[in-house]
Amino acid sequence: MFKLLIIILLSGIGAVVRDMISIHMPKSLYGTLIVNILGAFLAGTIIRSQFINGEYYDLMMVGFLGGFTTYSAFTKDQYELFKEKQYIKLFLYTLIMFSLTLCAFFVALSINILN
């Protein structure tokens, strides 16, 4: 039960940090992109850390990063671009989001492998 409460608390902290980053971006697309790239990098860092088999994994991956990363905002952004018939921008945004988050994740993995 205590672990669940900590996950809930860390999820809330992650959401607040996400909001603080997003509100300082000129457009919502950039905020969502930055947050998800940073979240992917942090996920790679956490996975390669010594905490992978411990309880810290759940606390950080499910708790903090669960609240921090924002797939729902990404989907909303995609819908808005689709609704506005900005199909090229929709395609590029989706491609960039998936490409850069995967790159950030693998960069984090490779940095930790070198340590």
Where does the pLDDT of residue 12 fall: very low under 50, low under 70, confident under 90, or very high at 90 and above?
Answer: very high
Question: Of 25-34, 60-69, 93-102, which range is least confident?
Answer: 25-34
The two most distant CA atoms of the chain are separated, in Å, by: 47
pLDDT at 52: 61
The model carries a pTM of 0.82
Beta carbons of 103 and 38 less than 8 angstroms apart: no
Q: What is the mean pLDDT of residues 14-43?
A: 84
pLDDT at 50: 63
Question: Of 14-18, 51-55, 70-74, 78-82, which range is least confident?
Answer: 51-55
Supply 71's token pair: 């797939």
| Whether pLDDT at 60 is above 90 | no
Question: Rounded to an integer, what distance in angstroms lies between the CA atom of residue 89 and that of residue 112?
Answer: 34
Question: Rounded to an integer, what distance in angstroms lies between the CA atom of residue 57 and that of residue 49?
Answer: 9
| Domain of 99, in residue numbers | 2-114
| Bigger pLDDT: 115 vs 26 | 26
pLDDT at 53: 61
What is the number of domains present in the chain? 1
Q: What is the mean pLDDT of residues 51-80?
A: 82
Instruction: Annotate 45-56 with DSSP letters as a single string.
Output: HHHHSTTTTSHH
Question: Rounded to an integer, what distance in angstroms lies between the CA atom of residue 51 and that of residue 75?
Answer: 31
